[in-house]
């Protein structure tokens, strides 16, 4: 019996090898040198400002962003240019490559002033029921590290980046696949709310477990759209 288990696990291991080979690297590090020129392999620094951390985010989320850049739902001249003639399969492979990498996070930014911090924490933890703004944590996870497969983590991001994204949704230069829940939410935020959320999140120490949560949110407050990933053969 013992022997059988060994053989079976060896076979399983062999079966997994090719997929693991792709996941491990297979030259992907060199292939995505265009990405890591900004989204550095060793992780971003907060003072890089606008450039977000992409490492360790759920593959589905990263894939959706690459598709959004390709279809101009999301606008950034460099990113739109980078992905303009890559196949969906390759975009997903690139997404998985970064999802599986976990370089260290930067130290948290300085804590904002009290009033801003309180409003930020309130919006993240409880939302603003009167303005029909759900809490960030109600979708992005208790630890704010995101939820598989399509919801990104919000920790370890530069403040300028978070502000720019919420602003981009407000003015229509960032969209997600319909229903675009973040477009609705950001329409209910004012400028100070955006500032408060960004400042509080950027100052949030990264939790010990930075992996996106595996269990889906039981009762999400809103419907959010996403593009289904290509068949994942890995």
Partner 1 sequence: MHRLLPILLLLLTAAPAVGATDSADAERGEYLARIGNCAGCHTAPGGEPFAGGLRLDSPYGTFITPNITPDAATGIGDWGADDLWAAMHDGERADGSPLYPACPYPSYTRVERDDIDAIHAYLETVPAVAHETAPHDLDWPYGYRPLVNLWQALYFEPGTPADTADADPVRARGRYLVEGLGHCDGCHRARGTFGATDTEADAPGAMIHGWYAPPLADPAQAGLQDWPVAEAAALLRSGRTEHAATMGPMADVVFDSLQYLSSEDAQAMATYLKSIPARTVASPERLIGLSERGREAAMREGGRIYANACADCHGDEGEGGDGAPSLAGNRAVTMDNPVNVANMIRRGGFPPATAGNPRPYGMPPFHQLSERELAAVISYIRGSWGNDAAPVSATNLRR
Which lies closer to partner 1 via its Cβ, residue 74 or residue 140? 74
| Minimum distance of partner 1 from residue 99's CB (angstroms) | 17
Cβ proximity to partner 1, 20 vs 89, nearer residue: 89
Question: Which is nearer to partner 1, 29 or 216 (by Cβ)?
Answer: 29
Q: Pick between residue 82 and residue 183 the one whose CB is nearest to partner 1.
A: 82
Least CB distance from residue 117 to partner 1, whole Å?
35
Name the minimum Å distance from CB 34 to partner 1: 3
User: Tokens in use for 24?
Assistant: 């491990």
As to burial, measured by CB atoms within 10 angstroms (0-12 exposed, 13-18 middle, 19+ buried), residue 153 is buried
Smallest gap from Cβ 105 to partner 1, in A, equals 23
Residue closer to partner 1 by CB (options 80, 148) is 80
Q: Which residues bind partner 1 (CB under 8 A)?
A: 27-28, 30-37, 70-73, 78, 81-87, 89-90, 93
Angle at 221 between CA 220 and CA 223, to 5 degrees: 75
- Nearest distance from residue 167's CB to partner 1, in Å? 21
Residue closer to partner 1, measured from CB, 86 or 131: 86
How far apart CA 173 and CA 84 sit, in angstroms, is 17
CB of 28 to partner 1, least distance (A): 8
Tokens for 2?
């013992």
The C-alpha atoms of residue 131 and residue 45 are separated, in whole angstroms, by: 34
């Amino acid at each position: 019996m013992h022997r059988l288990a060994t053989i079976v696990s060896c076979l399983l291991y062999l079966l997994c090898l090719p997929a693991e080979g792709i996941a491990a690297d297979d030259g992907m590090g060199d292939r995505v040198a265009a990405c890591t020129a900004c989204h550095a392999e060793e992780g971003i620094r907060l003072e890089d400002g606008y450039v977000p951390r992409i490492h360790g985010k759920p593959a589905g989320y990263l894939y959706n962003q690459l598709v959004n850049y390709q279809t101009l739902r999301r606008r950034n001249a460099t990113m739109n240019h980078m992905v303009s003639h890559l196949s969906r399969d390759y975009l997903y492979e690139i997404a998985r490559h970064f999802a599986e990498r976990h370089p260290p996070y930067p130290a948290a930014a300085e804590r904002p002033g009290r009033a801003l911090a309180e409003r930020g924490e309130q919006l993240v933890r409880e939302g603003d029921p009167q303005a029909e703004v759900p809490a960030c944590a109600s979708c992005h996870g208790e630890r704010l590290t995101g939820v598989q497969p399509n919801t990104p983590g919000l920790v370890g991001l530069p403040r300028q980046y978070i502000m720019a994204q919420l602003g981009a949704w407000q003015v229509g230069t960032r969209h997600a696949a319909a229903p675009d829940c973040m477009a609705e939410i950001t329409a209910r935020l004012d400028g100070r709310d955006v500032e408060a959320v960004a400042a509080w999140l950027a100052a949030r120490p990264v939790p010990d477990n930075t992996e996106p949560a595996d269990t889906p949110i039981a009762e999400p407050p809103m419907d959010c759209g996403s593009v289904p990933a290509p068949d994942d053969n890995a």
